[in-house]
Chains A and B, each alone.
Chain A
């Protein structure tokens, strides 16, 4: 317990100090926070519940569009804003910007959760690969359809309000970093709290054998929907912040980017280890470092590298880092190991 407090304290202090220690990497650190949030939320669904989804990108993109639309629409006519392509005809005052952003984030979190609840009953009735393909279809369909809607910019994209400079203080990086960091801490604590309750056990029961769980009297559909809503809530939040951070929303390349973000979140959670609390965090961090390295040094070949990485991780490393550690050091994970038994098993193999 004591060790844990020191660990968490150290991470928290590092998180707060990071933008000042590495001022050049503020944006990268914010993106890292967003990636960790996405990996954690994917893990709630894919790792704990066993419902492997490609469709959480739907909530991420939805959150992005909603946050930006609310932020603009609260003060100015939305249609004219997007038509002008973010021309400086309307300028947010700092108060308007922050108010709009706060309300926008709230909407970006709540509405995706509600939508997840509404569509959950129909879609969570599918299992296994049908669920995976169905959610893949949902994500792509959302991208294609939002690319045809005029009021949110259609094909030409949506420019989010520029960050206002209060007294010429350039604090954009810090603002978005702390936003994403606070949401990350909030997400982590919320998920940690959830994982210590009966709810997590129910989710695991659904993953291990849904029919038996149902036979034991668990209302699986209810729990599945709640699980998806939790996932959607944090995905929407992450999307809202990411929209402000990137500053420009395109339907298929930024918001509903199934080819990048949608796969990244699956990959990060699997790389770190599905079904663990720390796995997605570690996986996302490693993945981000790897990705940035590749994106910088092998520009153009990044998708080739990404494709190879997916294949290699999925085939040779499906248990992830935490799974590997668990196999190697089971004592650390609270499993009681009989040494003689373990040796016997090894020789049997």
Chain B
């Protein structure tokens, strides 16, 4: 029954990862940047929910408040740094966002302290299958909210004017510019939406798991991995590979031990990339 427990835990966790990865895919597809600070945005979003919890507001409201604050944080980051790396080499954006990541880590360490914290939602647990599987309700809640936000965003991207502009810019920025789309604004909005998604995910993580200023990088790597497995712009793929990663992680945790959990995630990234490389090299191609 531990297997079933791990699978269910992994699936619920994976939905959260998929939400973060969706933001990653969005900015990668639209602006062609890889954001190493993604995980730190998640953690920052988590701290917003945690602070609401400290001041006596139920942390679940963080799901509403955190994305609004994070949207503006994202726009500010875009105006200060990202707009200068959009059209440049991808390595420049990796390195620049690595700098932002280090900056955020340390600022959060100053502001919130280096303790591992958790916003207690007070939701109970659900027992399934004759009490052999324990599911905290907070995990179910977070998976549900993630799905709601993901579906909402998909509809927004399809129907709204801004969503259409974002998709047009992703297809061909120059043509979109000619047709009167203010790409600068679109980029800012894209980065803001990405940060807002990170904010939602962070708030949910602070309810279900724990947050710590230095825990950002694994979330970045996870979302990167999900995106390269699924491909850009493939939303069902992102959801599937996110859940797959969640299950993998729970099993790695369960079989190898918790101390190897993060290590196995990073190792899996290396293995996936190497596997893709060998598969493509048969056709004399390489990952682009």
Which residues from chain A sit less than 8 Å from chain B, CB to CB?
52, 122-123, 125-130, 132-134, 136-138, 140-141, 143-145, 147-148, 155, 259, 263, 266, 270, 300-301, 303-304, 306-311, 314-315, 318
Contact = CB atoms under 8 A, between A and B. Distances in A.
Nearest to A263: B98
B266 interface: yes
B99 A145 contact: no
Interface stretch (B155-163, B166-174, B240-248, B269-277): B269-277
B37 to A, nearest CB: 10
Interface of B: 34, 81, 84-85, 90-92, 94-96, 98-107, 109-110, 217, 221, 224, 228, 257, 259-260, 262-264, 266-267, 269-270, 273-274, 277-278, 281, 286-288
Which 5 interchain pairs have the tightest Cβ spacing?
A307-B103, A310-B99, A144-B263, A141-B266, A303-B106
B234 to A, nearest CB: 18
Contact of A145 (B94, B98, B221, B263): B263
Contacts of B81: 311, 315
Contact of B277 (A122, A147, A155, A310): A122
Given A129-B91, A133-B269, A314-B95, A307 B100 contact: yes
Contacts of B270: 123, 134, 137-138, 141
B174 to A, nearest CB: 22
A144 B99 contact: no
A148 B264 CA distance: 12
A316 B266 CA distance: 31
B102 A306 contact: yes
Contacts, number: 129
B159 to A, nearest CB: 32
A304 B94 CA distance: 18
A268 to B, nearest CB: 13
A154 to B, nearest CB: 8
A52 B95 CA distance: 10
Contacts of B274: 122-123, 125-126, 134
A318 B92 contact: yes
Contacts of A259: 102, 105
A278 B281 CA distance: 36
B103 A129 contact: no
Contacts of B287: 126-127, 130
B278 A308 contact: no
Contact of A126 (B99, B106, B277): B277
Nearest to B101: A307
A130 B102 contact: no
Contacts of A128: 90-91, 288
